[in-house]
Amino acid sequence: MAETGKNTDLAADYLLHGKLVAIPTETVYGLAANALNPAAVLSVFETKQRPHFDPLIIHVPSLQKASEYAVFDDDRLLLLAQKFWPGPLTLLLPKKEMVPDLVTSGLNRVAVRVPDHELTLELLNKINLPLAAPSANPFGYVSPTEPAHVQKQLGDKIAYILDGGNCRVGLESTIVGVEEGKLCVYRLGGLAIEEIETVAGPVVLHINQSSNPKAPGQLKSHYAPRKPLYLGETEELLKLHATKKCAVICFGGINLNANNVLVYNLSPGGDVNEAALNLFRYLRAADDSTAEIVICQKLPEIGLGRAINDRLIRAAVAS
């Protein structure tokens, strides 16, 4: 089992010696390594069993530090950084030479963000190095939002879990870059498109679902529980699977008249932000339950509802 605590000095020491440390952020827990140490970065891929063609995000403590590793080549990206960092926003920027190609999977842009978590910002300022940190879970599985999730999945493979409590956003960061002069969203996440457009103007969606990603988190099969997950109209799916014990992940004021059903309501009041906070926790709970399958409904395509639906679509594909 991994040692767990709030000691940033100890976490920094492990990272400086090439070890892996789980770090808290406002979005999900990350599996961190010194981003400038290719051997440590390689161990992230190996520990997660993550394909090497799926690039990583580097975490830094400030906009100034981000400029040491990447180039702000578009004023809109600089505006977004100034407005939303620290926060659940990742920017895809031309990388500087000191960033290893392994981090970017050979691409010429690097994904960078400033996490909004006091403990991890303290660690980043202390270590004075960028940390490559994808979600701290086996590749393709539900992302961790609590220290216990990390311990259960990777506790025997990493040195330390920096315990920052439960994540308060619950979805990975939104990834934004510029392509052919257009502001692009490559991954839907914890920062809503509406907020981005208020600051930087219209965006286009480049939500890749292939085995050739331009940014982290774009693979088609991702964020999935181990039990089969079906996405659609709840009542219809319950009728279709009437002989099975079902876990239902729903949203809003829904009344289910069905036996042999476990219900996990992301937000009885219909709040998409609350739903985002609960999504991965309830996916894990359903996966750990006695249910045979998981049934989910889509949320309204507003605010973080878009990002939640993106995660559910990818999870359903993997079932």
- 120 and 237 in a single domain? The answer is no
Q: Looking at the structure, tell me whether residues 87 and 34 fall in a common domain.
A: yes
Q: What CATH number is attached to the domain comprising 77?
A: 3.90.870.10
Residue 210 lies in a domain: no
Query: Into how many domains does the chain fold?
Result: 2
Strands (E), the chain: 3-5, 21-23, 30-34, 57-59, 89-94, 109-113, 131-132, 160-162, 174-179, 182-187, 204-205, 229-231, 246-250, 261-265, 293-296
Q: Residues 256, 305: one domain?
A: yes
Q: Residues 191, 59: one domain? A: yes
6-41 pLDDT tens trace: 999 999 999 999 999 999 999 999 999 999 999 999
Inter-residue contact 26 to 169 (CB < 8 Å) = yes
Q: Are residues 236 and 198 in the same domain?
A: no
Angle between helices 305-317 and 272-288 (to 10 degrees): 20
* Alpha-carbon distances of 240 from 69, 103, 234, 245, 262, rounded to whole Å: 52, 44, 10, 12, 16
pLDDT band (50, 70, 90) for residue 318: very low
- The angle, 0 to 180 degrees and rounded to 10, between the axes of the packed helices 118-127 and 8-16 is 50
Residue 210 scores a pLDDT above 60: no
Question: pLDDT by residue (tens digit) across 246-288?
Answer: 999 999 987 776 677 999 999 999 999 999 999 999 999 999 9
- Considering the domain architecture, whether residues 137 and 98 belong to the same structural domain is answered as yes
Both 15 and 151 in a single domain? yes
